[in-house]
A and B are shown apart, each in its own frame.
Chain A
Amino acid sequence: MNTIHATLTWEYLARNRWALAIPFLLAVATALLVLLPLKSLDFSSNARELVGLQLVLLWALIFIVILGVLDSQGSLKPLYSKPISTTGLVGYFFWGGVLLVAVQVALLILLCRSLLGIAWPFAGPILFAVVFWGWTQVLFRVSMRTLLWVPATLVIFAALLYWSMYRHGVAATEGGMIDPSVHYWSTLTGLDIVIAIASLLATFSLTTWRVTCDRSGRPAWPALGNVRTHWPTSNKEKTQVLKTFVSAQSAYEWFDFRNKNASLPLAVLAELLLIWFIAFAIYPFYGNLRVSSQAAFSGTLFVVITQFVAAVFVHLSAMKGHSVQDYQGPGREQRQRKPVPFGISQFLKALPLSTPQIASAMLRSSARAAGGAAILIFASFALLGGLSWISGDGVGYLSDSKFNYWKLAFAMTTCSMLLTFAVLNLTCLYAPRRASWEHWVAPPVLLLSMLTLWSPAFPFVSFGAAIISLFGLGFATAKSVKRGDISWSNTLLLWLAGAGTAICLIFCLPTDSRLMGSVLIATLVMLALFPFFSTASALRNLRTN
């Protein structure tokens, strides 16, 4: 490794330690979340049923890891002026990424193996992960600056996912993911290795070619350039008439939605579209709707369960939000993106809006986001319900269960929505160093609840979480009413609405789990109410220091 690579490594580690570590930890948390309940229910003897779940989990973990590595690498543009060849530059990040992804996936599989005590293989998943990495690199760096990247991504991802499904034996069977012939990807065939090598080389060359064009300033897609200028502009006439904002608060709500929260329902939409795309893509192979609906069901469930992960991503990346500023250096014409927490730059701080009004605007925008995502998810469930009615089968795994499908769908969607809303407004992140204790109640309560949700072994933990959140919420309510951030009438309305939602949700549960469920639902509702009484005070610390 010559000195340039040493410098790059040092700089990368110095700058991006946390950007690399946090997604990895998030992946670990996700793995724990999904697997811990299985551990307590002792499914280890029926490992076959787990393969389908393993597959989906693996995809999720790989995706998180890859996003983490990508985010930490960032754009190559700042390095164009360094004395390194393009191949060397791309190669460093490409193959370095291969190494990082492989190591992280290996560690995650090791963790899962030790948790479940079953023999999950390393070979197949790691190979798949690095191939996936190669293609994600391409999609990331070969930016086409038009919306064509959306179908391109869908097609490439679908192909990759289908390949992994095939290698797990899923595609070849009628029973879908829980068919007994489904197996682990334990052995690597010659074809696997050929595909992997070819894919890596192809993606590496593509990336190198694109970066070469970029570095020398040549446009890579001249034909596409015409598409670029014509496609988006056909909508431009509409944007000429911009909607006038009714008030300053609604303007800020629009800004907060576009700046941060809109990415949540968009991500959920993209995920659901992908899931349904895959579900319909595999239909020709089986000829019946049941497999497709099973795939769509597990996919939608996955979205529901991991929506809060997406929300954490949205909130955390907003913390690293940026605005465009003048480059602080002599003679540079460009402006640079500099990190500013939540994108609340000096320009925004000088806008005449009081802190409670900003808080209210932010809450509305995140409600819009969480609500929009919930509507999409419920639409997916409804579509599944429709499909199962057409095909005459029950939906997914619950065809013969005692749960009422619609009650369950409603309960899951609403709980997920409440959780997402709570996570999008984690007030402890606005000004961490100056946040008082009640802002820090939410994260541990969240974690504790998740733990007990999946592992009924410790019921008193959930009671403890509920008590802590009740105290925190009460204190925050009193403090914000006293400060004048919220009126008595609104406080009453909110508490009543929370109570009403909790009661509705409890009645959706089956009678035998109502006690446990009520505690958890109460905690969830309290977590969702919390932002209403704490955002203003946290924002105050962010705006003025």
Chain B
Amino acid sequence: MNNANSTSPRPVVDIRNLSRNFDQKWALQDVSLQIPQGGVFGLIGSNGAGKTTLIKHILGSHYAQTGSVRVFGMDPVASPVEVLSRLGYMSEDRDIPGWMRIAEIINYTRAFYPSWDTHYAEELRELFDLDPKARIRDLSRGQAARVCLLLALAHRPELLVLDEPSSGLDPVVRRDILTAIVRTIAEEGRTVVFSSHLLDEVERLADRIAILHEGRIVLHDQLDLVRESFHRVTLRFDEALSEPPPMPGAIDRQGSGQEWTYLCRSDREQLLQAAKRLSAAVVQESSPSLDDIFISTVNRN
């Protein structure tokens, strides 16, 4: 599951045993993550699970109380300029200064990034239909999100960090954001990290996912492997049962009488053999969606 082997190139983000508490409450507990270069990493969790806190550690807004955080091999707290200049960030609140105009904030942000591509920024501005003379405090949510996305993309960062990029936005803006993510990873060597509780988007875009629940990582693997290792089977038993018998790797059981549906994390062959041993017929078999996997995993914990 954890493939930080020595022959692969250094991960872009390397978090080891990170814990964080705020006023006696643990926001993160012993979190370890390695995000390899050139892929999309989806960070999933309910509100308050610790996603934003984790992302703030990557940005250097929080220092590591225990454990270590390395981005591009460097500590973001100790070397903010080196790390942040190669990183594009879109905050959850899209909190940009209200008194500026769009042209002003683009001009302002440009000064910070040597790799800023003015033509690309202009292209994005026209694509997103942003009026340079508009004041940021007068913008709607969708437009503000587009501005933040522009500012994160225009300097062509090696690492794009998006904190809940689609939350609260209409489908048109969401499309812009997803397109930006797809375009970014299509360019060689760039990495995208995004946190979301909209699992259908994570399913479409992520190569690897991690599920964060109450500050702990409960799942961390390639999305393909995750999808393949979870199965939903409906078994029909010879007689009605009040309590269904256990199945290997069963996380969730639902049903009544003779038919019971299991959500299992195990090898398919194992499941079929177990069903046979219980002399139950496999009535239906399907692949659960990421939504179902998330809900069951989280509920179980």
Contact = CB atoms under 8 A, between A and B. Distances in A.
Task: Answer yes or no: A and B touching, Cβ < 8 Å.
Answer: yes
Interface of A: 236, 239-240, 242, 244-248, 250-251, 254-255, 258-259, 322-326, 328, 330, 333-335, 337-338, 340, 343, 345-355, 543-545
A251 B63 CA distance: 26
Interface band, chain B? 35 or more
Given A245-B107, A245-B111, A333-B141, A347 B81 contact: no
Interface of B: 56, 59-63, 77, 80-85, 87, 89, 91-99, 101, 103-104, 107-113, 132-133, 136-137, 139-141, 144, 148, 151, 168
A255 B85 contact: no
Nearest to B108: A251
B94 A351 contact: no
Nearest to B52: A346
B12 to A, nearest CB: 16
Nearest to A328: B93
Contacts of B94: 325-326, 335, 347
Contact of A352 (B80, B99, B136): B80
B16 to A, nearest CB: 19
A182 B86 CA distance: 69
A545 B62 contact: yes
B198 to A, nearest CB: 14
B146 to A, nearest CB: 13
A350 B84 contact: yes
Contacts of A346: 56, 61, 91-93, 95
Contact of B112 (A242, A246, A351, A355): A351
Closest 7 CB pairs of A and B: A251-B111, A352-B84, A324-B98, A245-B111, A352-B85, A325-B93, A345-B95
Contacts of B107: 242, 244-245
Given A242-B104, A324-B98, A352 B93 contact: no
Contacts of A245: 107-108, 110-111
Contacts of B56: 346
A255 B81 contact: no
B97 A352 contact: no
B95 A247 contact: no
B76 to A, nearest CB: 9
Nearest to B84: A352
Nearest to A243: B107
Contact of A248 (B87, B112, B133, B148): B112
Contacts of B96: 323-324, 345, 347
A254 B85 contact: no
Contact of A239 (B103, B151, B168): B103
Contacts of A246: 111
Contacts of B136: 324
Nearest to B83: A352
A432 to B, nearest CB: 16
Contact of B62 (A240, A255, A353, A544): A544
B111 A247 contact: yes
Contact of A254 (B77, B108, B139, B148): B108
A307 to B, nearest CB: 24
B229 to A, nearest CB: 34
A335 B141 contact: yes
Contact of A326 (B80, B93, B109): B93
Contact of B108 (A255, A337, A345, A544): A255
A477 B121 CA distance: 42
A351 B84 contact: yes
Contact of A345 (B62, B83, B97, B144): B97
19 contacts: A236-B133, A244-B111, A254-B108, A259-B97, A322-B98, A325-B93, A325-B94, A325-B95, A333-B140, A334-B141, A335-B139, A335-B140, A340-B95, A347-B95, A347-B151, A352-B81, A352-B82, A544-B60, A545-B63
Given A340-B95, A347-B94, A353-B112, 9 more contacts: A251-B112, A328-B93, A333-B141, A347-B91, A347-B148, A352-B113, A353-B80, A544-B60, A544-B77
B98 A337 contact: yes
Of the listed residues B93, B99, B113, B132, the one surrounded by the most CB atoms of chain A closer than 10 A to its CB is B93
A354 B108 contact: no
A326 to B, nearest CB: 5
Contact of B80 (A242, A254, A354): A354
A101 to B, nearest CB: 29
